[in-house]
Amino acid sequence: MAENSSSVYGYDSRDSSRALSRLSPEPQALRLISYEAARRLQVLPLRVDETGHLVVLSLRAGDMLLADEVRALCRQPVTMVQSTEASLLAEIDRAYQFSGAVARLAGESEAVRTQERDEYDDASPAAGIVERIIAQALRERASDVHIEPGETKTRVRFRIDGHLFNALEMPLAAHPSVTARVKLMAGMDIAEKRVPQDGRIHRVFEGHEYDFRVSTLPSIRGEKTVLRVLDSDGGSMTLDALGCSHEEMETIRRLLSGRRGLILNTGPIGSGKTTTLHALMRELKIDEFNAITIEDPVEYRLPHATQVQVNEKSGLTFASALRAVLRQDMDFMLLGEIRDSETAALAVRAAITGHLILTTLHCGEATAAPARMVDMGVPPYLLGACLRGVLSQRLLRRLCPHCRRSVTGSAAELRALDLPPETQVFQATGCPKCGGRGYLGRIAAFEILKVSPALAQLIVRGATAAEIASCAQTEGMVSLRRNIASLVRRGVTSCEEALASLGE
């Protein structure tokens, strides 16, 4: 007799802590029920569990006749998992068109491996696999695609909202031709497999332009390939799209209004600092001015700006490019990163002489940035004269608004976020619209330090980060922790995500 479950989509009723991946129902599960039967019965086979049951998603999980028909089709026990979403047919189409098609193509891996110059054939299995991977990565809003050779299989993973999820697996024999196809598309040397390479792919998908920054890395099992997905037209790079509140946007606009000075953006790697800098440049209406960017690498195209890509092998470093830019009658500059004392000194010099410089600095908190610049050799009196403001930011996953559920936060979590006891917060659940992950998209949380005359005097005196923080909070600065706690209280993100972003 078939087993039944009333679990919400995204979780196995026997183990509610384990999310079932929307990205790739297991190929062997898809092969047990044909696409035509899945559409007719409105069921989606997900995986075969450790007890040999086929886990099947259905709008009618409690229908015993349906469960018996599914069992007869696949000739093994089934566990029916309830879906409350009317979009199940779209999920079935997606699963069979992506996972099923890739599985069939990957099944031809021996032909892929032995076919001469297969990577040049647009109709080859390798080309089909790559095109489907790229298309699905865009549909799933992935920021990165990892193609990784293992001991016996190649694994493809998507980074979605900052976290990696398995997309599919294919036989290791298919890996060389798939990698060669990506390298060919990216304008790389497909014969060179011993050294890392970089390239770029441009794609138009559903009327929208995307760039893929491609990087290969030789390993003992073969070349690993990573594709960074970049929105060519930067449509999401606005302060509003980043999630800035009205008050934060007004503060940032006041920082930009002076049209001169130094603005620093701090935070860990992957916190969205470069995206924020591009959003700030768009606020400046740079088509009316001479705007220049120096980046490593150039990720986003910025209309009306001259963009320079650092190339240290040829001698074009941040410092050498910055020296050249100072002779280009520049108004605004986006400097990708201050990495050393020479770049720091040149950036301060440019800001002192009347230019607006936007740049990033590796530093934990906004209030610690002045001391970090002084440690890099910038004289405090110069820094105090040119520093207009410092941003510190973190990226947090947004709770899916379709399936989040209200709970009372644990005492420890609420205490860590300085929230009152018994505060009602929200928790991730999982549904088809968020792929069973419980989160949908990301939001930036900021700490904004506006350098007032009093703060400038503290910087000139070489004040510590604690002294600067005390003065800034007296003047009304809202700390990063408070802003993140506010997102939790409003149900935008979870306690778990908030504490992870703070490193706790």
**437 inside domain:** no
Same domain assignment for residues 298 and 149: no
Q: Which of 95-99, 256-260, 293-297, 373-377 has the lowest mean pLDDT?
A: 95-99
* Mean pLDDT in residue range 335-353: 92
Q: 91, 117, 141 — which closes off a domain?
A: 91
pLDDT of residue 258: 81
* Mean pLDDT in residue range 220-224: 94
Same domain assignment for residues 59 and 129: no
pLDDT of residue 101: 54
**406 inside domain:** no
pLDDT of residue 324: 92
Contact 182, 154 (CB under 8 A): no
* Mean pLDDT in residue range 444-455: 94
Q: Which is higher by pLDDT, 173 or 425? A: 425
Reply yes or no on whether the pLDDT at 19 is more than 50.
no
- For 64-115, write each residue's pLDDT tens digit: 888 888 888 888 888 888 776 656 777 777 777 666 555 555 555 555 454 4
Reply yes or no on whether the pLDDT at 463 is more than 80.
yes
What is the residue range of 348's domain?
239-396+444-477
**496 inside domain:** no
Same domain assignment for residues 251 and 169: no
Same domain assignment for residues 252 and 369: yes
pLDDT of residue 4: 41
Reply yes or no on whether the pLDDT at 261 is more than 80.
yes
- For 193-219, write each residue's pLDDT tens digit: 999 999 999 988 888 889 999 999 999
Same domain assignment for residues 387 and 464: yes
Task: Give the residues across from 203 on adjacent strands.
Answer: 210
* Mean pLDDT in residue range 352-380: 93
Reply yes or no on whether the pLDDT at 24 is more than 70.
no
Q: Is the dihedral of CA 341, 344, 348, 349 positive or negative?
A: positive
Contact 340, 277 (CB under 8 A): no
Q: 91, 123, 146 — which closes off a domain?
A: 91
**pLDDT grade, residue 5 (50/70/90)?**
very low
Rounded Cα distance between 421 and 412, Å, is 9
Reply yes or no on whether the pLDDT at 25 is more than 90.
no
- For 124-144, write each residue's pLDDT tens digit: 778 888 988 898 888 888 999
pLDDT of residue 455: 95
pLDDT of residue 284: 87
Same domain assignment for residues 223 and 291: no
Q: What is the mean pLDDT of the chain?
A: 84
**419 inside domain:** no
Same domain assignment for residues 324 and 203: no
pLDDT of residue 20: 38
pLDDT of residue 1: 42
Reply yes or no on whether the pLDDT at 490 is more than 90.
yes
Q: Which is higher by pLDDT, 259 or 375? A: 375
User: To the nearest whole percent, how much of the chain has pLDDT over 70?
Assistant: 88
Rounded Cα distance between 265 and 272, Å, is 10
CATH of the domain at 458: 3.40.50.300
**pLDDT grade, residue 380 (50/70/90)?**
very high
Same domain assignment for residues 473 and 327: yes
Q: 198, 231, 264 — which closes off a domain?
A: 231
- Would you say how long the chain is, in residues? 504
pTM (two decimals): 0.77
**33 inside domain:** yes
Reply yes or no on whether the pLDDT at 10 is more than 70.
no
Q: Is the dihedral of CA 34, 55, 150, 397 positive or negative?
A: positive
pLDDT of residue 100: 55
- For 276-301, write each residue's pLDDT tens digit: 999 998 888 888 889 999 998 888 88
- CB-count exposure of residue 50 (10 Å: 0-12, 13-18, 19+): exposed
Reply yes or no on whether the pLDDT at 26 is more than 90.
no
In order of 120, 127, 130, 181, 347, the CA distances from 184 in angstroms are 8, 10, 11, 5, 39
Q: Is the dihedral of CA 293, 297, 302, 308 positive or negative?
A: positive
**464 inside domain:** yes
- For 382-422, write each residue's pLDDT tens digit: 999 999 999 999 999 999 998 899 999 899 999 999 999 98
Same domain assignment for residues 246 and 390: yes
Same domain assignment for residues 217 and 244: no
Reply yes or no on whether the pLDDT at 376 is more than 50.
yes
pLDDT of residue 111: 52
For residue 13, the tally of other CB atoms under 10 A from its CB is: 17
Same domain assignment for residues 21 and 63: yes
Reply yes or no on whether the pLDDT at 16 is more than 70.
no
- What total number of domains does the chain contain? 3
User: To the nearest whole percent, how much of the chain has pLDDT over 90?
Assistant: 47
Same domain assignment for residues 339 and 363: yes
For residue 129, the tally of other CB atoms under 10 A from its CB is: 28
pLDDT of residue 116: 47
Rounded-to-10 torsion of CA 290, 295, 301, 302 = -30
Type of residue found at 276? T
Rounded Cα distance between 306 and 299, Å, is 13
